[in-house]
Amino acid sequence: MIVRTAAVALALIAAPVAAENDIVVRGQVLSKEEAAAQAKAFVQAVGIVSTVKPAARWVDPVCPKVSGLADAAVAARVEARFRSIASAVGARLAKPGCKTNLLIGFTNDADALARQINADDPRQMIELSNAWRGRLVNGRTPMRWWYSTEVRSADGQPPVNAPLPWLAISTEGGAEGGGGSATNNDAGGDSGGGYTNSRRASLISSNAKRAIRTATVLVDVTLAQGKDLDGVIDYAALVGLAEIRFSGEPPANSVLALFAPENPVYGLTTQDEALLKSLYRLPLDRQGRYHRGWLVNGVTKALSGAE
């Protein structure tokens, strides 16, 4: 994964340097009913999972790299905070000197950089829908990101060409198992390829899991000017550790609303952290509807103070 960014002067508000593990998560305790409703809406809004397609996460250790910052000390601070968040939610981290698979790039013109990347190496954005690619290369947003993913067997074997188990749709309507003939439709072209059948027999396991292979997060310093640096890092951590694909307005009570007007969000919230922790605990080799329920349950417990 090659992304070129020009060295830029940091135009964000640099908050006092905190200890590496000093991550403040903000939120309020809700009733169980309120928490369940908010959790369901949040999981649906971020687009992390659908009824059909399961969630993806990092399976291999994450090797982050920060580029585009002229001040090495600030770049080190960004990486340290990202690593602290990743460790706190359960993501595996690669050792220093590893091969980069997640890049956080700071640039003065993310539009131009995204267009350049798309022109120089379109394969980096091959999994994106036309609408999402259009927002990346033509949008005016402070943060933009994309992923490459692949499907592995439940045993972790590399992918081969084979029908994806969660894309068997009954021609009589509804999901798989409802009778009628089945077809395998790769909606959106972002499945990450085929999968390898697991050696294990299971009535629960789908025998396949989706894994994030690479992620790129671009921070437009000009458009992000005036925001707290730690909040920007938290935003990058959320979209870098989970496959976030929301459209329209960002969900409320989330760091994803960091740049929304009149929204008092400054960093990771309770539901953001709960989403990531639940994602890194769930068994990947399950259908999407199982993942959705797991994530909603995890966020509900956190919002209601049940965990």
Is residue 23 pLDDT above 90, yes or no?
Answer: no
The predicted pLDDT at position 191 comes to 45
The model carries a pTM of 0.82
SS3 271: helix
SS3 289: helix
Is residue 20 pLDDT above 90, yes or no?
Answer: no
Of the listed ranges 11-15, 18-22, 249-253, the least confidently predicted one is: 18-22
Percent of the chain with pLDDT over 90: 51
232 vs 206, higher pLDDT: 232
User: Which residues fall within 8 angstroms of residue 7, CB to CB, at 6 or more apart?
Assistant: 68, 69, 70
176 vs 44, higher pLDDT: 44
Q: Which of 120, 1, 48 is nearest to 275 (CA)?
A: 48
User: Which residues fall within 8 angstroms of residue 60, CB to CB, at 6 or more apart?
Assistant: 92, 94, 101, 211, 213
The predicted pLDDT at position 98 comes to 95
Would you state the structure tokens that stand for residue 256, as one six-digit string? 């994803």
pLDDT digits (tens, 9 = 90+) for 101-150: 999 999 999 988 888 888 888 788 888 877 878 878 887 889 999 999 99
Is residue 178 pLDDT above 60, yes or no?
Answer: no
Distance CA 282, CA 305 (A): 20
- What letter represents residue 219's amino acid? V
Quickly state the pLDDT bin for 25 (edges 50, 70, 90): low
Beta strands in 99-176 (DSSP E): 102-107, 143-153, 168-170
Beta strands in the chain (DSSP E): 56-58, 64-67, 102-107, 143-153, 168-170, 182-184, 208-220
The predicted pLDDT at position 181 comes to 30
The predicted pLDDT at position 234 comes to 98
160 vs 304, higher pLDDT: 304
pLDDT digits (tens, 9 = 90+) for 61-81: 999 999 999 999 999 999 999
Q: What are phi and psi of 93, to 5 degrees?
A: -115, 140
pLDDT digits (tens, 9 = 90+) for 209-245: 999 999 999 999 999 998 999 999 999 999 999 999 8
Quickly state the pLDDT bin for 161 (edges 50, 70, 90): low
Q: Which of 188, 184, 236 is nearest to 80 (CA)?
A: 236
